[in-house]
Amino acid sequence: MGRLLLVLRIAMKDLRRNRAEAMLLLVAIVAATATLSVALALRGVTSAPYAATRAATAGPAVVAAVQQSSSPPAALTSLEHGRGVVDSSGPYLIAMSNLVVGGHSDPVMAEGRNTSTVSVDQPKLTAGRWVRTGGVVVERSLADLLDLKVGERVGLDNLVGGGTGPGGGPSGGPSGGPGPPAGPGGGHIRAVGPSFTVVGIAVTAALQPSPLSDYAHPSGFPEAGLVWVTRSAAEQLATLEGGAFGYTLNLRLADPGAAPSFAAAHQHGGLFLISWQAIAAKEGLIVSVERAILLTGSSLLGLLALASVALLVGGRMEQQTRRVGLIKAVGGTPALVTGVLLAGQLVLALVAAGVGLVVGWLAAPLLTNPGANLLGRSGVPALALSTIGIVIGAAIVVTVVATVVPAVRASRTSTVSALADAARSPRRASWTIAFSARLPIPILLGMRLAARRRRRAVLSAASVAITVGSLVAVLMFREHANSLDTAVGLGGLYRFAGPGDPLWERGMDVLLVFTVALVLMALVNAVLVTWATVQDSRHATAVERALGASPEQTTLAVVMSQLLSALPGAIVGVPVGIGLYLAVGRHSSGMPSALGVAGVVLLTIAAVAALTAIPARLGARQPVAEVLQSEMA
């Protein structure tokens, strides 16, 4: 027990002495563990809010719809008597329209409803009251998006000509209403419709968050939010010039579990059906996308954290050899030595993991908030024991893997040489030395510098490769998201509709968080490598200066040595990034834009160069004599 305490005491003192490094390491591991814990928190999130909403709104098992029908077709109404159907509501007329408020216009589906309540899909009011003449009830996510409040005045009208109608041209159905039709290529003319007051805000389980793409609603209408109006208002809207419409029907089944097969069985003859499971899956889609991004992201960050720890530990091992010698000289066993070296790192890793868990726990609700269209909150707050276990386990594994090799090597050093502080001597690369002799002096010195510490050069290159790869993947995601296959419980492709689509917004938010964390960690790694290189090369640089190398030459040499590992890393990172994107996106395809890739690579290289140049230049100011004296102290 006493020995354990001794080990811990030495380790803690060690950490206190090297605060800056400890902080850097902390940052790196916190970033990685926070991302991981958020990703893990997203695992069991999906179902609760949707279930709550379904329960509160008497949500349907199946929603059926047709498009472009003058009256509810027999095929639709016959579903009410389908096998297993125990209840239904509708059919309700849906008029495609535009909600105009404050000069801003958004496409909406206006569903005509009775003022009385029904037994299937009765939207639950969260503000105000249900439909009445002249009033419109807005679906909550749409209301949030447009910042609508009860009592505001809005207009529902249509744009004539141009392409917002389904199929792009003026539609069939009863026309009429004021306003001349426009010719092709002509301007958009407003057919002014009735004006309404927002009387209420509600949620429903029968539709996805607004505005989502057509595949969210079986009617096949294009991106539209949902509002409810009186039946007569809906009819009126449907008769407006350019007003497309259809009918929707809500069904409850005896066996809710049979909904998907029911939907599949009746999906024909112009009918569109969607089961509640598919809707639920869609609800969960946002979270699934986030989770996919975060899980991949946290693995990448984990790799970067591994590189950080390895770099840091490698850099410190050289300083530790003398301490190792002392411990051994007073009777410490190699196990004790390894223990001391590991203990410090582990304590740090555990603290960082704890902080990362807390950060992740606090951040997760932001990302798992199901959105305004559903009731209730996701079941995130309770930090699952398994999450804690995995995160802490990951931190420990990363630390041990990065530390164990140098630690074991240090403990095996003979006591004598450790006491004499025979620091790990640099490797020798004969061909590098011979080859570099022909090159200009900064490259000569830089190449030789890089060749001295191969492990560090490789780690640095790997870090840069991961960073560039991740940035390229993010770039591709932004450019190609439309074709991203995120089929999770939904048959077929889901297309991101672009800005305005909550899935898109949410996905981009998460991506941003990940990118920030990535860049942060990459910076940490770059700083660590730079610091280690400058420290390590102090003696060599001082000797070179004593022999006549100018400060400019030696600074440039240090920068060169970094670039010699960063450049190959960046180049390798590009195909890695493409591969990453293709792997995560599954069936997605495509290449990143050349400009984007060039930009990422150049920025990364420039950042590495800048990060190195500054400490190198500062080091070059110190008089040669001082450095040489201190190096031999």
Partner 1 sequence: MNGSDATIVRARGLRKEYGSGEGLVRAVDEVDLDVARGEALAIMGPSGCGKSTLLQLLGGLDRPTGGELWLAGRSIDRLSERGLAQLRRHDVGFVFQAFHLMDELTAQENVELPALLAGRSPREARQRARQLLERVGLADRAGHLPSALSGGQRQRVAIARSLANEPKLVLADEPTGNLDSGATLEVLRLFEALHTSGLTLVVVTHDERIAATADRLISMRDGAFVDETRLVGGTTGSLGALVGLEG
Which is closer to partner 1, CB of 255 or CB of 552?
A: 552
Q: Which H/E stretch holds residue 285? A: helix 276-329
Is 595 one of the binding residues for partner 1 (CB under 8 A)? no
Minimum CB–partner distance for residue 550 and partner 1 (Å): 4
- Which of these segments, 130-138, 256-264, 354-362, 435-443, binds partner 1 (CB under 8 A)? 435-443
From 184, 425, 491, 595, residue interacting with partner 1 (rule: CB under 8 A): 425
- Which of these segments, 114-122, 219-227, 334-342, 619-627, binds partner 1 (CB under 8 A)? 619-627
From 125, 326, 488, 628, residue interacting with partner 1 (rule: CB under 8 A): 628
Which is closer to partner 1, CB of 182 or CB of 441?
A: 441
268-327: contacts with partner 1 (CB under 8 A): none
- Residue 107 φ then ψ, to 5°: -70, 140
DSSP state of 70: S
Transcribe 217-280 into DSSP letters.
Answer: STT---SBEEEEEEHHHHHHHHHSTT--EEEEEEEEESSGGGHHHHHHHH--TT-EEEEHHHHH
Is 388 one of the binding residues for partner 1 (CB under 8 A)? no
Q: Please state, in angstroms and as integers, the Cα–Cα distance from residue 205 to each residue in 77, 124, 250, 276, 504, following that order.
A: 21, 9, 11, 8, 21
SS3 content of the chain, % helix, strand, coil (to 5): 60, 15, 30
Which is closer to partner 1, CB of 291 or CB of 545?
A: 545
Which is closer to partner 1, CB of 153 or CB of 427?
A: 427
Which is closer to partner 1, CB of 57 or CB of 541?
A: 541
Minimum CB–partner distance for residue 585 and partner 1 (Å): 46
Asked whether 111 and 136 are in contact (CB, 8 A), the reply is no
Classified as helix, coil or strand, 128 is: strand
Beta partners for 96?
A: 109
Asked whether 305 and 31 are in contact (CB, 8 A), the reply is yes
Q: Please state, in angstroms and as integers, the Cα–Cα distance from residue 589 to each residue in 288, 458, 599, following that order.
A: 20, 30, 21
Is 456 one of the binding residues for partner 1 (CB under 8 A)? no
Cα 323 off chain centre by: 43
Minimum CB–partner distance for residue 565 and partner 1 (Å): 17
Question: Who contacts 349 (Cβ-Cβ below 8 Å, separation ≥6)?
Answer: 29, 309, 395, 396, 398, 399
Minimum CB–partner distance for residue 448 and partner 1 (Å): 8
From 254, 437, 602, 603, residue interacting with partner 1 (rule: CB under 8 A): 437
Rounded to whole angstroms, how far apart are CA atoms 29 and 525? 11
Is 433 one of the binding residues for partner 1 (CB under 8 A)? yes
Rounded to whole angstroms, how far apart are CA atoms 585 and 391? 25
From 149, 427, 454, 586, residue interacting with partner 1 (rule: CB under 8 A): 427
Which is closer to partner 1, CB of 93 or CB of 620?
A: 620
Which is closer to partner 1, CB of 543 or CB of 614?
A: 543
Query: What angle, 0 to 180 degrees and rounded to 10, lies between the N-to-C axes of helices 538-546 and 551-584?
Result: 150
Minimum CB–partner distance for residue 562 and partner 1 (Å): 19
Angle, CA 616 vertex, CA 610 and CA 618 arms, to 5°:
105
How would you class 282 by CB atoms within 10 Å of its CB: exposed for 0-12, middle for 13-18, buried for 19 or more? buried
From 178, 257, 579, 623, residue interacting with partner 1 (rule: CB under 8 A): 623
Is 385 one of the binding residues for partner 1 (CB under 8 A)? no
DSSP state of 79: G
Which is closer to partner 1, CB of 65 or CB of 445?
A: 445
The count of residues interacting with partner 1 (CB under 8 A) is: 33
Minimum CB–partner distance for residue 433 and partner 1 (Å): 6
527-566: contacts with partner 1 (CB under 8 A): 539-540, 542-553
Cis peptide preceding 365, ω within 30 of 0: no
Minimum CB–partner distance for residue 429 and partner 1 (Å): 8
Rounded to whole angstroms, how far apart are CA atoms 213 and 495? 8
Q: What is the sign of the dihedral through the CA atoms of 483, 488, 492 and 497?
A: negative
Minimum CB–partner distance for residue 408 and partner 1 (Å): 23
Which is closer to partner 1, CB of 180 or CB of 623?
A: 623
Which is closer to partner 1, CB of 449 or CB of 474?
A: 449
- Which of these segments, 19-27, 440-448, 528-536, 584-592, binds partner 1 (CB under 8 A)? 440-448
Minimum CB–partner distance for residue 312 and partner 1 (Å): 23
Question: Who contacts 334 (Cβ-Cβ below 8 Å, separation ≥6)?
Answer: 328, 411, 412
- Which of these segments, 29-37, 432-440, 516-524, 581-589, binds partner 1 (CB under 8 A)? 432-440
Which is closer to partner 1, CB of 184 or CB of 548?
A: 548
Is 416 one of the binding residues for partner 1 (CB under 8 A)? no
Which is closer to partner 1, CB of 255 or CB of 626?
A: 626
Which is closer to partner 1, CB of 74 or CB of 632?
A: 632
Is 431 one of the binding residues for partner 1 (CB under 8 A)? no
Minimum CB–partner distance for residue 328 and partner 1 (Å): 22
Rounded to whole angstroms, how far apart are CA atoms 368 and 443? 51
Is 632 one of the binding residues for partner 1 (CB under 8 A)? yes
Which is closer to partner 1, CB of 429 or CB of 458?
A: 429
Minimum CB–partner distance for residue 625 and partner 1 (Å): 4
Which is closer to partner 1, CB of 231 or CB of 322?
A: 322
Is 401 one of the binding residues for partner 1 (CB under 8 A)? no
Tokens 């707050």 -> residue: 381
Classified as helix, coil or strand, 493 is: coil
Question: Who contacts 27 (Cβ-Cβ below 8 Å, separation ≥6)?
Answer: 520, 521, 524
Rounded to whole angstroms, how far apart are CA atoms 466 and 601? 12
Residues forming contacts to partner 1 in the complex (CB under 8 A) are: 425-428, 433, 437-438, 441, 444, 448, 452, 539-540, 542-553, 620-621, 623-626, 628, 632
